[in-house]
Amino acid sequence: MYWLASQAEPVEISKFPTNLELSPSELLKAVQSLGRRLLIEKVKEGEKTLFTLQPVFMEYVKNQNPQN
């Protein structure tokens, strides 16, 4: 989620880092779970579905990052 919080614009799920500790199916389940909790937002852009974090959650995640 740190990576998604660092993105200035919504991104496609295929653009998520490949070095995650999740399999593709686990990543999809995580994104769906966050969507059900309204923490991640789907943005339709033509045929594409992009994802971004809700602004409040994005700030929270950024502030929790120990690298800041």
Whole-angstrom distance, CA of residue 28 vs CA of residue 24: 6
Predicted TM-score (pTM) of the model is: 0.78
pLDDT on residue 18: 83
Cα separation values, 4 from 11, 20, 24, 63, Å: 8, 12, 16, 13
Q: Which residues contact 56 (CB under 8 A, 6 or more apart)?
A: none
Residue that is written with structure tokens 């950024």 in the block: 62
For the stretch 10-58, pLDDT in tens is: 999 888 888 888 888 998 898 899 899 999 999 999 999 999 999 888 8
2-64: CATH topology: Arc Repressor Mutant, subunit A (1.10.10)
pLDDT on residue 68: 52
Whole-angstrom distance, CA of residue 53 vs CA of residue 11: 10
Domain ranges of the chain: 2-64
